Amino acid sequence: MKKKKRTIIIVEDSIVIATHLTSILSEYVIHTFFNGMDALNSVKLINPDLILLDINLTPNSNNIQMNGHDVIKKLKKDNETKDIPIICITGELDTKKEIRALELGAIDYIRKPYNSIIVKLRVEVQMKLIEKNEEIKRLNTTDKLTGLPNRHCFDERIEAEWHRTERNEENLSMLMIDIDYFKEYNDTYGHLQGDRALKYTGKIIKNSLTRKVDYVARWGGEEFTVLLSHASYDGTFEVAERIRKNVERAFVLTKSGDKTKITVSIGAFLCNAPKHDLTIDKFITLADNALYQAKRTGKNKVIIFTDV
Does residue 222 have an active-site annotation? yes
- Which candidate, 284, 286, 139, places its Cα nearest to that of 225? 284
List 98, 222, 223, 248, catalytic entry:
222
Q: What mean pLDDT do residues 122-129 have?
A: 94
Residue predicted with more confidence, 272 or 21: 21
Domains of the chain: 7-139 (3.40.50.2300), 151-306 (3.30.70.270)
Alpha-carbon distances, residue 172 vs 61, 158, 205, 207, 231 (angstroms): 43, 10, 18, 20, 6
Position 245 confidence tier, pLDDT thresholds 50, 70, 90: very high
Q: What is the pLDDT of residue 2?
A: 59
Q: What mean pLDDT do residues 110-127 have?
A: 94
Neighbours of 51 (CB within 10 A): 26
Q: What is the pLDDT of residues 192-207, one digit of tens each?
A: 999 999 999 999 999 9
Q: What is the pLDDT of residue 274?
A: 63
Q: What is the DSSP letter of 114?
A: P
Q: Rounded to an integer, what distance in angstroms lies between the CA atom of residue 12 and that of residue 30?
A: 12
CA 257 to chain centre: 37
Position 91 confidence tier, pLDDT thresholds 50, 70, 90: confident
The helix (run of H) or strand (run of E) holding residue 124 is helix 116-141
Position 1 confidence tier, pLDDT thresholds 50, 70, 90: low
Q: What mean pLDDT do residues 12-20 have?
A: 94
Strands 29-33 and 7-11: parallel
For residue 308, pLDDT beyond 70 = no
For residue 276, pLDDT beyond 80 = no
For residue 275, pLDDT beyond 90 = no
297: CB partners within 8 A, 6+ apart? 303
Residue 272 amino acid letter: N
Do residues 31 and 10 touch, judged by C-beta distance below 8 A?
yes
